[in-house]
Amino acid sequence: MASRKKPVYEAVEIADIEYRGHGIARPEGKVLFVEDALPGEVVDARVTKKKKDFAFARVLEYRRLSDKRVEPFCEHFGLCGGCRWQYLSYEDQLSYKQYFVGQVLERIGKFRDLEVPDILGCESDRFYRNKLDFSFAAGRWLTDEEIASGEDVGDRRALGFHVRGRFDRVLDIETCYLQPEPSNEIRRAVRDFTLAEAYSYYDPVNHEGYLRSFIIRTSLAGEVLVIVVFAHEDAGARERLLEFIAERFPQITSLDYIINDSMNDSIAPHDVHHYRGRGYINEVCGPNTLKIHPKSFYQTNPKQAERLYEVVARFAALEGTETVYDLFCGIGSIALYLAGSAARVIGIDNVEEAIENARENTAYNGYENCEFLTGNVRDVLTPEFSSTHPAPDLVVLDPPRAGLHPDVVETLLALRPPHIVYVSCNPATQARDLQMLAGAYRIDAVQPVDMFPQTFHIENVADLRQIPR
Ligand SMILES: C[S@@+](CC[C@H](N)C(=O)[O-])C[C@H]1O[C@@H](n2cnc3c(N)ncnc32)[C@H](O)[C@@H]1O
């Protein structure tokens, strides 16, 4: 071990790997979670964050490499914040993800002997995303070689993704393997046009510059929505850029823009202005066509969203007579997926726009048995809720990464629906919640689904049946 402040452990062997993708080592009886390290590897690692019983660390040098390591396929790997797991083949990513689900269910949920079936992988581990948000930046990230050369690097404007861990530096992206075309074509054309036409790019430190960010949404139906975010209004410059995009890419279904003159990058509080086209795109989701507006939340891997919802429907095993609650329903995609097989579906989400979108999609697809309510699930779903609404035969849960609030677990235990299907994007919090429900529910099955190749993220669905009292 070297310095006291940031200890370095030399030649530690990685014994295991955990669900956030860290290798686990146990030097000198301590638990070290090491970023980007695989079982069997031997590394020198520097501690980055120390806790009472464990520490996080980053590799300084690999002394022995796993034979599972492969060459990352993207030239931007390492600096770019996305696609962190490219150093493993997709098959190995899938088998580790499946292992993680069993690991957290056992360690956190204390469920032993639970069979975890093969994770449902993607048909393609590239070009699977339907939404990307690119940043313009006045100060492109410089490579070590550029800095070492001492030469003037000239124009430093960049359009791409933030460098891992840096809000103020952006990596200029040439080809991104996440979204199908015309995503790369549109981004490159916008970059070339705005560089040539001397548009200024945003500088978050001094809050200066005109172009802020650029969102491209695509859909399985082959439609494209583009939103350009400007830092202030300049009607002439805005019109020239939007006109260029519209003429060059007539296949764009909806071209929109936002003026965000605040210090904060979030577009949520700002109005969307419609420039050309339809104002929304259609997405295909099983039997339904969903209208997706510029700011609508929708699952970012639409093909796997359909597979995920197929699993939900398989576990739900509806016969047509049931009342279903879809809690944390977003734009109602699960509710509408199940609506044709249930008597009635009630969806709850705390985002008003999402609920409006859910109602719009209900009418768009001709359903008359769906009701959507805005509010915090914790406040709306009280034990009294079922005195004003039909009691649920099935509750579908799809909470954010933090999982369920303990009050929601308590209400579920009071409501005691006979059947719960729990969809989770964080198997660790899911395992914790399943443990809290374990006295009243048994887990009949789980099914992991991979929505995000090249990342550590996992989606897992659990099928719970009430244990008779
Ligand atoms: C993982 S998303 C699931 C969305 C949807 N089921 C889908 O498949 O697209 C979680 C949703 O929970 C909503 N949400 C987060 N916290 C909430 C809360 N306390 N009460 C109600 N909804 C909440 C978010 O707005 C988001 O739409």
3-state SS, 65-109, equals CCCCECCCCCCCCCCECCCCCCCECHHHHHHHHHHHHHHHHHHCC
Is 146 a residue whose pLDDT tops 80?
no
List the catalytic residue out of 80, 122, 176, 425: 425
* Second-level CATH architecture of 106-124+301-466: 3-Layer(aba) Sandwich (3.40)
At 181-209, the pLDDT tens digits run 999 999 999 999 999 999 999 998 899 99
At 345-357, the pLDDT tens digits run 999 999 999 999 9
The reply to whether 106-124+301-466 shares the fold of 8-64 is no
Residue with the smallest CA separation from ligand 1 atom 22 is 349
Please report, as a single letter, which amino acid is at residue 299.
Answer: Q
- Give CATH for domain 131-285: 2.40.50.1070
Q: Cα–Cα distance between 180 and 396 in angstroms, integer?
A: 31
Instruction: Summarize the confidence of residues 71-85 as an average pLDDT.
Output: 92
Instruction: Summarize the confidence of residues 330-341 as an average pLDDT.
Output: 97
For residue 309, give the ligand 1 atom closest to its CA.
Answer: 8
Written as six digits, the tokens of 200 are 């200024």
The domain segmentation of the chain, as residue ranges, is: 8-64, 106-124+301-466, 131-285
For 432-449, b where at least 16 C-beta lie within 10 A, e where not — what string?
A: bbbebbeebbebebbbbb
Structure confidence at residue 2 (pLDDT):
46
Is 316 a residue whose pLDDT tops 70?
yes
CATH 2.40.50.140 fits 8-64, yes or no: yes
Q: Is the CB–ligand 1 distance for residue 304 below 6 Å? A: no
Structure confidence at residue 4 (pLDDT):
59
CA geometry: angle 453, 181, 243, nearest 5 deg: 135
Q: Is the CB–ligand 1 distance for residue 377 below 6 Å? A: yes
Contact 15, 27 (CB under 8 A): no
Query: CA dihedral in degrees (83, 425, 352, 231; nearest 10)?
Result: -20
Instruction: Summarize the confidence of residues 273-296 as an average pLDDT.
Output: 95
Q: Is the CB–ligand 1 distance for residue 407 below 6 Å? A: no
- 415 — pLDDT class (breaks 50, 70, 90): very high
Helical ranges in 143-234 per DSSP H: 144-149, 183-196
Q: Is the CB–ligand 1 distance for residue 422 below 6 Å? A: no
Contact 310, 319 (CB under 8 A): no
Query: Which H or E element spans position 32?
Result: strand 31-34
Structure confidence at residue 167 (pLDDT):
73
Instruction: Summarize the confidence of residues 303-314 as an average pLDDT.
Output: 98
Q: Which of these ranges, 296-300, 328-332, 417-421, has the smallest mean pLDDT?
A: 296-300
Residue 281 main-chain phi, psi, to 5 deg = -125, 160
Q: In the chain, pLDDT over 90 holds for what percent of residues?
A: 87
Q: Is the CB–ligand 1 distance for residue 329 below 6 Å? A: yes
For residue 351, give the ligand 1 atom closest to its CA.
Answer: 25
Q: Is the CB–ligand 1 distance for residue 333 below 6 Å? A: yes
Residue with the smallest CA separation from ligand 1 atom 26 is 330
CA atoms within 13 A on the CB side of 10: 3
Q: Is the CB–ligand 1 distance for residue 95 below 6 Å? A: no
Q: Is 83 a catalytic residue?
A: no
Is 369 a residue whose pLDDT tops 90?
yes
Contact 322, 394 (CB under 8 A): yes
DSSP type of residue 208: B
At 5-59, the pLDDT tens digits run 789 999 999 999 999 999 999 998 889 999 999 999 999 999 999 988 899 999 9
At 224-264, the pLDDT tens digits run 999 999 999 999 999 999 999 999 999 999 999 999 999 99
Mutate to test the pocket of ligand 1, among 312, 328, 351, 355 (most ligand atoms within 8 A of CB): 328
Which residues touch 37 (CB under 8 Å, ≥6 apart)?
Answer: 14, 22, 23, 25, 43, 45, 59, 62
Residue with the smallest CA separation from ligand 1 atom 12 is 328
Written as six digits, the tokens of 164 are 């891992």
Beta strands per DSSP E along 293-426: 323-327, 344-349, 370-374, 394-397, 419-424
Residue 457 main-chain phi, psi, to 5 deg = -70, 140
What are the distances in angstroms from CA 403 to CA 332, 425, 427, 429, 453? Answer: 19, 9, 9, 5, 22
Strand partners, 132: 216
Predicted structure pTM score: 0.93
The overall average pLDDT reported for the chain is 94
Distance of CA 10 from the midpoint of ligand 1 (Å): 44
DSSP type of residue 271: P
Structure confidence at residue 12 (pLDDT):
97
Residue 167 main-chain phi, psi, to 5 deg = -80, -20
- 140 — pLDDT class (breaks 50, 70, 90): confident
